[in-house]
Chains A and B, each alone.
Chain A
Amino acid sequence: GAVVSQHPSRVICKSGTSVKIECRSLDFQATTMFWYRQFPKQSLMLMATSNEGSKATYEQGVEKDKFLINHASLTLSTLTVTSAHPEDSSFYICSASRLGLTNTGELFFGEGSRLTVL
């Protein structure tokens, strides 16, 4: 099946620094990727929709200047957490929809990236 890969899987950073997380579709092209955040013992919450070649669409309450999203190619989207603070510590997960797949297909999720801000 299709594979979506995230890197890094774990990252620890100091407060005030920026962290970049990559999401790659390994064997298919993805016009759209989605970024989710999951706090401990909670469900996934959609942060933003990343569209190749255009600006990302952010969900209500998500700061676009803090969570920078770039979708420069059909196989790569990046999420940069700028000036990270301890409250940004979370599990970040991306998913991708496959170009050309009929609208009844499943979404493919990455393995997730656990960010810890000290």
Chain B
Amino acid sequence: DAKTTQPPSMDCAEGRAANLPCNHSTISGNEYVYWYRQIHSQGPQYIIHGLKNNETNEMASLIITEDRKSSTLILPHATLRDTAVYYCIVRALGAGGTSYGKLTFGQGTILTVHP
């Protein structure tokens, strides 16, 4: 799976949009971009994923550049509870087997939302 690069930390004011970037310049055509987050001492939580189109759900929006070499996770109105480590992961999804679901976590971005 392709590697990703994220800033180690970011700050955001409560109520403002948090924009978390991720570079994945070596992404392959069959690799999806996934975002998870991990609040302290909890298991990771799925946020959103996409292949090439922008995606939006109740938690966030995912903007993927046209060349797919980078993406941005947007939390439209950050709250204090959004303080967490955010992981951007790219993963190829093939024909099942043991590779399905195997995620390689990088260091992620520590997002701190302050009042």
Q: A32-B101, A46-B104 are in contact. Are A104 and B49 (CB under 8 A)?
A: yes
Give the nearest-CB partner of A107 in chain B. Answer: B101
CB A51 to nearest CB in B, in angstroms, measures 7
Give the interface SS of chain B, mostly helix, strand, loop or mixed: loop
- Is B29 in contact with chain A by the CB < 8 A criterion? no
Which listed residue (A4, A36, A49, A91) contacts B98, Cβ 8 A?
A49
Interface residue stretch chosen among A11-19, A73-81, A110-118: A110-118
Contact B46 A106 (CB under 8 A): yes
As a 0/1 sequence over residues 17 to 57 of chain A, the CB contacts with chain B under 8 angstroms (1 = contact) are 00000000000000010101000000111100101000001
List chain A residues, Cβ under 8 A from B38. 44
| Total CB contacts across the A-B interface at under 8 A | 64
Interface size on B, as a range, is: 20 to 34
List chain A residues, Cβ under 8 A from B96. 103
Give the interface SS of chain A, mostly helix, strand, loop or mixed: strand
Which listed residue (A6, A46, A96, A104) contacts B103, Cβ 8 A?
A46
Contact B98 A104 (CB under 8 A): no
Q: Which of B42, B43, B103 is most buried by chain A, counting CB atoms within 10 A of its CB?
A: B43
The interface of chain B, by Cβ under 8 A from chain A, is 32, 34, 36, 38, 41-46, 49, 51, 87, 93-96, 98, 100-108
